[in-house]
Structure 1
Amino acid sequence: MPEVSPGQAIVRVQASCINPGALSALHGAPYTPIRDLAGVVMSVGDGVQDVRAGDEVLGWSQEWSAHAEYVAVPATQLIAKPLGLPWDVAGSLFVTPMAGLAGFNAVEPAAGEVVVVSGATGGVGFTAAQLARRTGATVLGIGNPAKAGHLRAHDIIPVPFDGDIAEAVRNAADGRKIDAFIDAVGSGYVRLALDLGVPPERITTAVDYQAAKEHGIAAKGTMDAGGLPALRMLAGLAAAGDLDIPIAATYPLAEVKAAYTTLAEHRPFGRVVLHPQE
């Protein structure tokens, strides 16, 4: 049990997802992006007014410490968990959905436009694609063809990530121009967007910062989404059933190795979530 400091809350963690970026830590990255958390407030420090012991909350740990039974976190990084929002979803809303929201905000899709999302079967891209579709835009989602059914279920047009992707996108667009492009993969997708004729100001990437610098496009990620108000909005959409945050698998914290293995070897559609209290 950590000690509570002024401005902090101690959260008894109920759910904390593993994001694909965490796999990089297994290969020498200097940090592990384990920030998502949801749980119950046990105590609060001096100066905390908006959070009380017993509150059900969700948020993030900027100290990368969310895979634990108890976490000390600034109260300013927590919001109330909406009534009825499952713990697993609440503990999966920060890193990837917020990055998806940042990408969506960067290109401002509108009704009647055609928007392409790379990595649409991953956490960042799937959120961005859903948000773009909610505006009335036609959304072409580049992703794993084995997971295309998940995109169709949300009225997102699947485009396989193998073969001639540019030709596949043009075919899916059916002669219409591509208005915006949200990249959640990197690996040449910024170049693809430019080759498809998308204006640089309507392209954003959550991954390829070098290409963004070279071509003068936006590079927006989790911390660009808008903080607590944005997280509160996403939580509200998820609680209302208007944003799908699929859960692929859950594990107790004691089986964290199996959880990482599932993510690394199977790359499932949806979040892999730890339950520290089991």
Structure 2
Amino acid sequence: MKAVTVTRSGGPEVLRVTEVPDPQPGPGEVRVRVYAAGVQPVDLAIREGFRPPGLTVEPPFVLGNEFAGVVDRVGPDSGGWRAGDEVLGFRLLDSHAELVTVDAAQLVAKPAGMPWEQAGSLSASGQTAHTALTLLGVGPGDTVLVHGASGGVGTVAVQLARARGATVVGTASERNHAYLRELGAVPVAYGEGLVERVRVAAPQGVTAAFDAAGRGALEASVELVADRDRIGTVVDFEGAGRLGVRLLRTQRTAARLTELVRLWEAGGLRLEIAEALPMERAGEAHRLVGTGHVRGKVVLTM
């Protein structure tokens, strides 16, 4: 099969589409023919040499931690999945490929009406946002500040917070302000003067803040939110330790992903695809994500 392979640590130029052996499902596993797979900021970091806790891998290896496709082979005790089932799911690596094997417990059924590009983009960003809002205790009556609100994680976080009864203020570049209003957020521009702009947008005060952007977001958050246990980041590890706020790590489960899929089916979750590129253009996809200005997600199609 073909796969997007990291040949060495470095920039997007180290990515190559190579031929690698077809994976075979073991006990409790399912093999999926991938139709679409999202590109995450963590994919860029791993390509550059970062390793999340528990990951010890050296080049060459295949990137990608979310996907959607069709089951084409099952191992023993594979949880009732059958060849031909349309699914979306997650695993730590190996999803930017024509085939991926995955624990059967990390798959959920894809709704028939969900476009492949959206299905392939949901798991990582969606579960990151869901985990963060749950850990921060976001609910009715809260006013939540979402940094990076127009990105993949931020887009879902805004909508989940609104669904939980919270008021949302979201930071984004001005070109994405109309988009954030459509999602139900009050948009503010990031950069110098952010704290004052948020106070104008939310005179009632801010009760929680979620950072999916970095770039000084935590420094602004601690000026706006009294309880530092209700400030969290998924990107600024150094800042979290220095300021005494929460470093949030995604807790991915099929149950969490199922909840997101059901919200999409009910019309309560909009998934924005900035670009859908063939796997041969993986380097371009990484460059787009690396700008930090993508609205929604970039996905690779196989």
Taking structure 1 as the reference length, what is the TM-score of the superposition? 0.90
Q: Which amino acid aligns with 1:209?
A: F
Equivalent-residue separation in structure 2 for 1:51 and 1:26 (angstroms): 32
SS in structure 1 of the partner of residue 79 of structure 2: coil
1:98 paired to 2:127: yes
Matched, 1:58 2:58: no
Aligned residues: 272
Q: Which residue in the other structure is 1:37 paired with?
A: 67
The Cα of 1:209 is off from its aligned counterpart by 2.8
Give, in whole Å, the separation in 2 of the partners of 1:197 and 1:4: 48
| Equivalent pair of 2:37/2:301 in contact (CA under 8 Å) | yes
Q: Which of 21, 29, 32 is 1:8 aligned to?
A: 29
Deviation of residue 25 (structure 1)? Answer: 4.2
Residues in 2 aligned to 1:202 and 1:20: alpha-carbon distance in whole angstroms: 24
List gaps (5 residues or longer) in structure 2: 1-21, 52-56
CA–CA distance in structure 1, aligned partners of residues 207 and 293 of structure 2: 30
> What letter corresponds to residue 185 of structure 2 in structure 1?
I
Q: Distance in 2 between matches of 1:29 and 1:210?
A: 14
User: Contact between 1:98 and 1:221, CA under 8 Å: does it hold in 2?
Assistant: no
CA contact under 8 A between 1:13 and 1:40: conserved in structure 2? yes
Structure 2 counterpart of 1:267: 293
CA–CA distance in 1 between the matches of 2:121 and 2:108?
A: 14
Letter in 2 for 1:100: A
5+ residue gaps, structure 1: none
Q: How does 1:152-231 map to 2 (within 5 A)?
A: 152-173=181-202, 175-222=203-250, 224=251, 226-231=252-257
Instruction: Please name the residue that 2:76 is paired with.
Output: 46
| 1:82-161 to 2 correspondences below 5 Å | 82-161=111-190
RMSD: 2.0
Letter aligned with residue 88 of structure 2: L
Using the TM superposition, give the Cα deviation of residue 265 of structure 1 relative to its aligned residue in structure 2, in angstroms: 4.9
Q: Which moved more, 1:234-243 or 1:150-159?
A: 234-243
Deviation at 1:33, TM superposition (A): 5.6
Write the distance in 1 (CA, Å) between the matches of 2:40 and 2:266.
24
Contact 1:15 1:273 in 2 (8 A): yes
Query: Mean Cα displacement is larger for which, 25-34 or 129-138?
Result: 25-34
- Greater shift, 144-153 or 247-256, is seen at 247-256
Give the CA deviation at 1:105: 0.8
TM-score by structure 2 length? 0.83
Q: Return the letter of the residue paired with 2:72.
A: M
Paired AA for residue 217 in structure 2: Y
Q: Is the 8 A contact 1:246 1:269 kept in 2?
A: yes
* Shift, 1:266, TM fit: 7.8
1:61-89 per-position Cα deviation (integer Å, ceiling 9, x unaligned): 22x10011111111111111123111111
Q: Distance in 2 between matches of 1:61 and 1:79?
A: 13
Identical pairs, percent: 36
Cα contact 2:39–2:286 (8 A) shared by 1: yes
2: CA distance between counterparts of 1:153 and 1:84?
Answer: 22
**Is the alpha carbon distance of 1:33 and 1:179 closer, same or farther for their aligned partners in structure 2, counting shifts above 3 Å?**
farther
- Could you tell me how far apart the structure 2 residues matched to 1:253 and 1:106 are? 35
TM-aligned CA distance change 1:267 to 1:210, over 3 Å: closer
Partner of 2:48: 27
- Kindly state the Cα deviation for residue 274 of structure 1 after the two structures are TM-superposed: 1.2
Match of 2:280 in 1: 254
Which one-letter code corresponds to 2:66 in the other structure? D
CA contact (8 A) 2:208 2:230 kept: yes
Moved more, 184-193 or 28-37: 28-37
CA distance in 2 between counterparts of 1:227 and 1:183 reads 22
